[in-house]
Amino acid sequence: MPGPDRALRAALDISRVLGDSRVITDPDQLERFGGDESEEPPRVPDAAILPRTASEAARCLSIASEHGVPVTPRAGGTGKTGGAVPVEGGLVLACEKMNRIKEIDAGDLVAVVEPGVILADLHCAVEDQGLFYPPDPASLDSCCLGGNVAENAGGPRAFKYGVTGHYVLRLDVALPSGAILRCGHRPVKGVAGYDLAGLFTGSEGTLGLFTEITLRLIPRPRQVSTVLALFPGLADAGRGIQAVLAAGLVPRVLEIMDRECVDTVRDGGVPLPPGIEALVLTELDGSEAAVAGDLERAGETLTRAGAQDVLVATGTVERDRLWRARRELSEALRSRKAHKISDDVAVPRSRLVAVLERIESIGLAHGLVSATYGHAGDGNLHVTFLWDDPGLEAGAAAAREEVMRLALEMDGTVSGEHGIGSVNRRYLEMELGREAMALTRGLKKLLDPASILNPGKIL
């Protein structure tokens, strides 16, 4: 691992390109570049670099390569698996000053953005023009599009609309050599050559740094309504989800929460009656006539499936109240106990109920409180274990591994949307196998021969 002296020499060379004001070496100022929202311990980098343009970012990477110094790309720092933590020190290359929405084209239905654009700002900008960019991770008010693409972020609306990668048309990528690669295409259709944009999407900053992102847009739905179904048990809620899908409904959101999550939401100010063990949050969109019909069918279906009550929120204030509680759930759970770990496995929908019941059993076996919620429409579950006693840490690690193995046993995956980063590295080969891991390492070696980009992640 290169020492700080080498990193500071690289930072000095970069300051001659960018100017001193955009190369940070003061330890107090560097603290904010050291961590993300995962349990990976923060590591303060030796320097942070703030480019404004693609050419500046590319030159910074070239200088870092010449010095053999690690570079950790950073967007909003909202990741859950340590992707933005500079675990080997070196330089953090932050995208916060590359934050322009360069173009919104209603004719082509595309947006062209820089990697530091905050997702919520893009949502507002395109919706003002009657357009829609569907991906909506819970951190949308603070996460950046560069990080969304790097992690192939999802969110509740993924069941109907897909994840970030379904909207990435073209990427400009700065490589460690200092070259800028353009891959993908502006039209929605295009099959010329290998899907290089797909390769970089989800690569977690280990292959290149995004300097420009072209995203697909769609027309904005005219009507949105939310249905909250309250169930006496978790298995009942799982059957309710299956019933909604069997009825031919395609909600844009189909979420589930277990008892611990229900209690947390109630404590957060959402008035829920006692005796509720699980809830299902369904959101429908489309034309006014279509949504009205789907609302009636959804309510009837959930009631027949055993819901004790079905509540409909059609107004913006009501819907925002429910969604604020849902989006703040991860942080709210953190406050319930002294210690927390969480993962986001995904399994086939048909095995959702079985997995939910097994997760609760795993937690109890290790003396932990389990809290599971997530995007039930696409089988993506956010599994959280909570505890107070520091002596339960080994049990929590064992429970995490059991959940990962359970997801694979059920023909699922160890991460549905949060990625691998540094936190989940040990589980990746369990899923991919040796041959796929060897291929992954070969691609990394080809694009980043000195392995300076985000070392300690994925591989």
- The model's pLDDT over 211-224, given as tens digits with 9 standing for 90+, comes to 999 999 999 999 99
pLDDT tens readout for residues 377-432:
999 999 999 999 999 999 999 999 999 999 999 999 999 999 999 999 999 999 99
Helices marked H in 19-133: 27-30, 54-67, 119-127
Helices marked H in 377-424: 393-409
Q: What is the per-residue pLDDT for 36?
A: 96
What are the tokens at 416? 């549905």
Q: What is the per-residue pLDDT for 314?
A: 67
Partnered with residue 386 across adjacent β-strands are: 340, 369
Q: What is the per-residue pLDDT for 330?
A: 85
Give first-to-last CA distance, the chain, whole Å: 16
Q: What is the per-residue pLDDT for 212?
A: 98
Q: Which of 247, 249, 272 is nearest to 259 (CA)?
A: 272
DSSP assignment, residue 325? H
3 state DSSP class of 127: helix
Q: Which domains does the chain have, with CATH numbers?
A: 4-97 (3.30.43.10), 101-219 (3.30.465.10), 223-329 (3.30.70.2190), 337-418+430-434 (3.30.70.2740)
DSSP string, 144-188: BHHHHHHHT---TTHHHH--GGGGEEEEEEE-TTS-EEEEE-SSS
Sign of CA dihedral 140, 203, 409, 404: negative
- CA dist 116 and 54 (Å) reads 12
Helices marked H in 268-351: 288-304, 316-327, 329-334
Q: What is the per-residue pLDDT for 60?
A: 98
- CA dist 442 and 307 (Å) reads 51
CB under 8 A, 24+ apart: contacts of 186-194: 186/108, 186/110, 186/214, 188/109, 188/216
List phi, psi (to 5°) of 361: -65, -40
CB under 8 A, 24+ apart: contacts of 295-301: 295/225, 295/227, 297/247, 297/249, 298/227, 298/244, 298/247, 298/249, 298/251, 299/227, 301/240, 301/243, 301/244, 301/247, 301/249
- CA dist 30 and 39 (Å) reads 19
Low-confidence ranges of the chain (pLDDT < 50): none
* Predicted TM-score (pTM) of this structure: 0.95
